[in-house]
Amino acid sequence: MAAKLQRWVDLLAALLRHRYPVSLEELMRDVPDYQGQEHESMRRKFERDKKELREFGIPIETIGDDEGVGYRLRMRDFYLPYLQLVDEERVPARPGRLPGDPWRQLALLQFTSDELRVVAEAAARVAALGDPALASDVRTALRKLAVDLPMDGAASTVEHVHGTEQHNAATLALLGSAVQARKRITCTYHSIGSDARSERNLEPLGLFFLSRAWYLAARQPGEKLVKNFRVSRMSGVKVGTRPESPDFERPAGWSLQQHARARSSWELGDDDLVDVDVHFLRDTGATAAAVRLGTPVEGSPDTLRYQVRRIDAFVRWLLPLGDAAELVAPAPVVAEWRRLAGATLAVYQEAP
């Protein structure tokens, strides 16, 4: 069975390398297990392989004309489309070059924030039907979406996407009035990164809704950096007195619309930014999507830098890339990545 699986992989790789139909003779040269055999025996083996792969849903086409017969497997029929978050006008939420393969053959599937919310709510309803197989399929689908889209934690359990978070209406009203009047606020904030509660003194710049949760964009007095605070983790919110007199000025040129553009889950939060470097070793569909989120590192063309606030979320996002990507800096983040990879591997090694 292992030999057959390897032959199938070699056959698929050979077909995907060609944009146009490839003859059986060319496949004989490209697939090691077809080499060194009598032509008719090899042809029968290929026909069996083609039939079985088609039964698995792989659309290998047979193209024939007067000059002969060729076989084709188009990338857009084999690979899943790229995923992208856009605004209501279908403008990319993250500007820049669209992802793509060398020949731009893969499709691009775009979602707005509202459409993603509908997907999450539909997943929750399917899971609520009580069918264990369906619930497992839903969890798997959400984990895959969360690699490329800001599903904000939907990768672990269906419970994470049971609709919008329940927020205290009075808290939202207080924050809204503070934003409008430019009044400082104080609150107790639960930081998920450190699992600690602390008192915060903030200058609120705006409220925005992202991935089923409300966030407050704010900065601490005297600081320039604007961070995002999840409203559901804020308690005891108090607004400064003397409403007729603003407590601060908004940064010149600052835009809530630009600041609140959809982000990856590891970019959200109030923790300090950490520069994390990832070295990409192989080109795959998943790495093509991951590469577009980082910025190049000078002097290392295959290394990209990510600005991360939530180390745990970033490591979980990176882990499914397997050996196609290697986290190289900084050392504490590398250690956490290796720890989680080891723990994941141990789970599969212990499985019966």
Residues 89, 46 share a domain: no
φ, ψ for residue 110 (rounded to 5)?
A: -110, 140
pLDDT at residue 203, rounded to an integer? 92
Residues 138, 180 share a domain: no
Q: Per the domain annotation, does 348 fall within a domain?
A: no
Spatial distance between the Cα atoms of 30 and 9, rounded to a whole number of angstroms: 11
Instruction: Name the domain boundary from 136, 158, 180.
Output: 158
Residues 148, 173 share a domain: no
Domains held by the chain: number: 4
Helices 39-55, 2-16: axis angle to 10 degrees equals 90
pTM: 0.41
Residues 234, 177 share a domain: yes
Residues 245, 173 share a domain: yes
pLDDT at residue 20, rounded to an integer? 84
> Which residues of the chain register pLDDT less than 70?
1, 65-67, 87-106, 129-133, 150-167, 192-195, 210-212, 243, 261-265, 268-271, 285-286, 349-352
Q: By residue range, what is the domain housing residue 154?
A: 82-158
Q: Per the domain annotation, does 269 fall within a domain?
A: no
Tell me, what CATH number does 179's domain have?
A: 2.30.30
Residues 109, 61 share a domain: no
Q: What is the mean pLDDT of the chain?
A: 78
pLDDT at residue 138, rounded to an integer? 80
Residues 89, 64 share a domain: no
pLDDT digits (tens, 9 = 90+) for 118-145: 888 888 777 776 566 677 788 788 877 7
pLDDT at residue 88, rounded to an integer? 60
pLDDT at residue 347, rounded to an integer? 72
pLDDT digits (tens, 9 = 90+) for 204-244: 999 887 656 788 889 989 888 888 888 888 889 998 777 67
Instruction: Name the domain boundary from 77, 107, 142.
Output: 77
Residue 110 pairs in a beta bridge with: 84
Q: Per the domain annotation, does 112 fall within a domain?
A: yes
pLDDT digits (tens, 9 = 90+) for 2-13: 778 888 888 888
Q: Per the domain annotation, does 350 fall within a domain?
A: no
Provide long-range contacts, Cβ within 8 A and 24+ apart, for 115-123: 116/85, 116/149, 116/150, 116/151, 116/211, 117/164, 117/212, 119/145, 120/151, 120/154, 120/161, 120/163, 120/212, 121/161, 121/163, 123/154, 123/158, 123/161
Instruction: Name the domain boundary from 37, 58, 77.
Output: 77
Q: Per the domain annotation, does 109 fall within a domain?
A: yes
